[in-house]
Structure 1
Amino acid sequence: MALYFIEYDLRKQRNYQTLYDELASFRAVRVLESLWCFNRVNTTAANLRDHFRRFIDNDDGIMLSEVSNWASWGAKGNPNNLK
């Protein structure tokens, strides 16, 4: 199982709900305002990027990272909260 971080920048329209709903289906944990983490198997950051692009507008930005080491301070949540 791999740990992934997703970061996004929703620009003009800022419709967050569809993205939030999809993150909930992944059982993601919010780490910072625009940074979430989740576990996944048998995929890649590129595949996840393509998946999540369906839930943002064309003028938005998104980044997916597979993470093996992390540290945080002052975060809302962390990967240890994943179920």
Structure 2
Amino acid sequence: MAKFMIAYDLKQQGQNYNCITEKLKKLNAFHSQGSVWLLKSDTTCKDLRDHLKGCLDSNDELMVVQISDWASYQMPHDAKYLKG
């Protein structure tokens, strides 16, 4: 199973984050910090991007990265998620 980091920036002041956060929760993603989530899945970066981009406006930003190696500091819950 691949591991992913998903980060987004919704540029519009007061933008509704519910759409993207609900989609991530349904994928059982782990909310790491702010607008950064971790996910373990058998999908691809492109498929994840395409699944989430419907929540974004034309000026918003989204990055999906497959993790091949990682290290953390004082983030025990994130480490537990990625190791599990």
TM-score range normalised by the length of the shorter chain? 0.7 to 0.9
Structure that is richer in helix per residue: 2
Instruction: State the alpha-carbon separation in 1 of the partners of residues 76 and 9 from structure 2.
Output: 18
Q: Residues 74 and 55 of structure 1: is their aligned pair in 2 closer, same or farther, counting only changes over 3 Å?
A: farther
1:13-44 alpha-carbon deviations (Å, 9 max, x no partner): 52101111001101111112111011111x21
Specify the alignment match of 2:41 in structure 1.
40
Matches within 5 A, 1:1-83: 1-13=1-13, 14-41=15-42, 43-75=43-75, 77-81=77-81
Q: Residues 37 and 64 of structure 1: is their aligned pair in 2 closer, same or farther, counting only changes over 3 Å?
A: same
Report the TM-score when normalising by structure 2: 0.83
Give the SS at the match of 2:57. coil
Report the TM-score when normalising by structure 1: 0.84
State the percentage of identical aligned residues. 33
- Aligned residues between the structures: 82
User: Runs of 5+ in structure 2 lacking a partner?
Assistant: none
Q: Specify the structure having the higher radius of gyration (Cα).
A: 2
